[in-house]
Structures are given as structure tokens and as C-alpha cells.
Amino acid sequence: MTNTLPIAPWRVFTVTVRAVRRLSPSFLRVTFTGVDLDRFADNGYDQRIKLALPLPGQHGVDLPEGADWYAQWRALPEHRRNPIRTYTVRAVRPHLAEVDVDLVLHGDGGPATRWARRVGAGDQIAIVGPDSGYDGNHGGVEFRPSAGSCLLLAGDETAVPAIGSICERLPLDTRGVVLLEVPDADDLLPLVAPPGVEVRWMTRGVDGYGSRLVPAVAVAADQLLVPRASATTQPVPNVDVDTEILWEVPDEVAAAPLYAWLAGEAGVIRTLRRHLVAERGLDRRAVAFMGYWRLGHADAN
């Protein structure tokens, strides 16, 4: 009798770059293909994955496999540990064995940006992503609004791929506002959303991160009839974004009239969370906020 190992929610996919397309000054779309990408689960929304990038002088990526791949990777000597970065799936085409990932071209000089600026067709990496053979919850999808809630989606350029994917999956009767802050006017990308969802792009130019997004969220909160909080509103714990991860997604979403999904630079997202929860009194269980990156810090794994 043959023993069959249970299928894990996630697996390592060895992939090759099929195509690279520059979408705008800040966005690059990379299309991956691989012999087993037909098993990549198309969960939509803000599905997170991990890209394992080649080491200097390395053609491909030899990432440990199995359920404990991450522990094995952490145990490797640093010079043998491929850089790993977290991204959002932009599109999945299992019938073509293809996955699209949109990359933001930051000027931080980190390993992901260096790889993105020189990537070409034929390059090989590894993707850690959801296995469609697993019939449970894969995890990695944080967009979980309550039924009937009006939506407020807000983020900087690092959140644009996730918000674009979310909007494409929304029911046609969804109502809400989408706020996107990007560096350049040429970064405004086509975005499909239901007719009841208003999409607002903002360019900050040389101004600081959040300079357009923070006031826009306040205006949208007025538009969506979120009242100012009373003195008895719930406290919001302060998070030191220099030392702590800013990431809170409610396991059980409150049945609130508004559901907010916020992602981007951690300091800006902290300000937005405080405004909506502490100043507006929105139930914390109706707000998903994620510090995708921190200004002045290297990317996290």
C-alpha cells in the first residue's frame, strides 16, 4: 500500500519569466510560466505570494521544498539564502500555466528592485504560492468584508496591484471609494471596478508619502457618512513602525456599514488607521490595515 503525503496549502513553483512589460514609470508586469503553474490556485483579491530571487551570479533558484521550506531556508548560511520578497498576484491563467505579478520600481536599491530593473524573458526564479490541489483555505487573502458593507480601499503604489485585483472580483452591486496615491501622473493604470465604486488617483510628485492619501481618506470618510467619534471611542494601541510590524486583519469582521482596507507605507497606514478608528470611531473589526513597507528600511521577507 502506497502512503500519499497530504497536500499542503502552499508549494514551491519553479518558474521562468515568459514576458516583461513596463506599464508605467513605476510599474513593471512580469509574466511567469512553469510546468506546474496549472496547479497555482486562482484565489483573486489580495492573494500574497513570495518570490525567491537569484543570488548574485546565480542563474536560477534552488529553494527548499516541503511544508517546512521556510525553516530550511532560514537555517541556510546567509550567503546561500536566496532573497525572498512578498508580492500580490495580479492575474492567474492556469490553462496557460501563467501568473502575472506587478512590481513597483522603488529607488531603494534592494535585491528585489535590482532584480526587477534587469529581469528579462528566460530568467528563472521560484514562487511560493497556493496549491490548487489543497481543498482548504490557503491563507494570504486579507480582503474579507462583511456582506453589504460599503468599501473604502486606500493605499500607495505598493497597494495598486492588490487593489486592482480586488476591484476586478467585486460584485457588480458593490458601493465604495478607492483611493490610490502614486508618484507620477503617468502611473495611472486602467482599473476595472463596479459602477458603484469611485476610483480616485492622486499623484504626489516630490511631496512625501501620504501627502495626498491622508487628506483624501478624511474626505472619503465624510462622503461615506462616517461620523466623528465621541469621547468614549475605542483606544488605538500605538505601534512603533521602526521596530514593530504594522499588520492587523480581523479574523471576524464586524457587521459595520463601512469596511476599510488600507495598505502601503507603514507610517502612513498608522495615521489612516488612527483617523478611522480613534477619530471616526469605526469598529477596529471593520478595518484591515497592512504596512507593506517602511520608509528607510529594507524590505521584509
> Which 3-state string (H, E, C) describes the chain?
CCCCCCCCCEEEEEEEEEEEEECCCCEEEEEEECCCHHHECCCCCCCEEEEECCCCCCCCCCCCCCCCHHHHHHHCCHHHCCCEEEEEEEEEEHHHCEEEEEEECCCCCCHHHHHHHHCCCCCEEEEEEEECCCCCCCCCCCCCCCCCCEEEEEECHHHHHHHHHHHHHCCCCCCEEEEEEECCHHHCCCCCCCCCEEEEEEECCCCCCCCCHHHHHHHHHHHCCCCCCCCCCCCCCCCCCCCCCCEECCCCCCCCCEEEEEEEEHHHHHHHHHHHHHHCCCCHHHEEEEEEECCCCCCCC
Domain with CATH 2.40.30.10 in the chain: 10-130
**Of 67 and 160, which is predicted with more confidence?**
160
% of the chain at pLDDT higher than 90: 65
CA angle in degrees (0–180, nearest 5) for 188-193-195: 120
Q: What is the pLDDT of residue 70?
A: 84
Q: What is the CATH number of domain 10-130?
A: 2.40.30.10
Domain with CATH 3.40.50.80 in the chain: 150-293
Q: What is the CATH number of domain 150-293?
A: 3.40.50.80
- 22-33 pLDDT per residue, tens: 999 999 999 999
CA pair distance 19, 153, nearest whole angstrom: 30
- 72-122 pLDDT per residue, tens: 888 988 888 999 999 999 999 999 999 999 999 976 668 888 899 999 999
% of the chain at pLDDT higher than 70: 89
Q: What is the pLDDT of residue 59?
A: 81
Distance of CA 20 to the CA centre of its chain: 20
Q: Is the pLDDT of residue 194 over 80?
A: yes
**84-93 vs 98-104, strand pairing mode:** antiparallel
> Which of 39-48, 74-83, 193-202, 241-250 is predicted with the least confidence, judged by mean pLDDT?
241-250
Residue with the three cell numbers 495611472: 188
Q: What is the pLDDT of residue 231?
A: 44
Q: What is the pLDDT of residue 244?
A: 57
**Of 233 and 132, which is predicted with more confidence?**
132
CA pair distance 13, 267, nearest whole angstrom: 33
Q: Is the pLDDT of residue 232 over 50?
A: no
- 278-289 pLDDT per residue, tens: 888 888 899 999
Can you tell me the mean pLDDT for 28-47?
A: 97
- 256-275 pLDDT per residue, tens: 789 999 999 999 999 999 99
Distant-in-sequence contacts of 267-271, Cβ < 8 A, 24+ apart? 267/209, 267/210, 267/241, 267/294, 267/295, 268/156, 268/209, 268/210, 268/213, 268/214, 270/239, 270/241, 270/246, 271/210, 271/214
Mean pLDDT, all residues of the chain: 89
CB of 287 closer than 8 Å to CB of 262: yes
